[in-house]
Amino acid sequence: MIKSELIEKLAATNPHLMHRDVEKIVNVIFEEITGALTKGDRVELRGFGAFSVKHRPARVGRNPRTGDQVSVPEKFVPYFKTGKELRIRLNPPEAPAEKPKGRKKAAKAS
């Protein structure tokens, strides 16, 4: 799903909202998340997941074409960790196998 499809789906499920209003709402949400990450803050959406920023230090890499060493500068990269509810929906737990319904054998008395 891309951003325009998300806007279309939200507009369709909320007919009382104008399409341009839905688009503004979605844009503001993304701007707020981006702004918080730019400041180094963590954005948590309970049940869905959390966005954060991770620091990658400078390192020496390799040009795959020539094999030459190149220096890769330090950078910050966005990171997303899924929430528990999303993980469960993506990987539903399997139902435990039923135990066979038979008679239990009586223990022998010695």
| Half-sphere exposure for 43 (CA within 13 Å, toward CB) | 17
Convert 36-85 into a string of H (helix), E (strand) and C (coil): HHHCCCCEEECCCEEEEEEEECCEEEECCCCCCEEEECCEEEEEEEECHH
Residues 34 and 56 in one domain: no
Number of domain units in the chain: 2
Residue 99, in any domain of the structure: no
16 found inside a domain: yes
Q: Are residue 53 and residue 31 in the same domain, yes or no?
A: no
pLDDT at 34: 97
63 and 77, same structural domain?
yes
User: What percent of the chain is predicted at pLDDT more than 90?
Assistant: 83
Bridge partners, 79 (sequence order):
52
Instruction: Please tell me the distance from the alpha carbon of residue 58 to that of residue 97, in angstroms, as a whole number.
Output: 51
Q: List the chain residues with pLDDT less than 50.
A: none
CATH for 49 = 4.10.520.10
Residue 67 lies in domain? 42-92
Are residues 34 and 70 both part of a single domain?
Answer: no
Q: Model confidence over 51-77: pLDDT tens digits?
A: 999 999 999 999 999 999 999 999 999
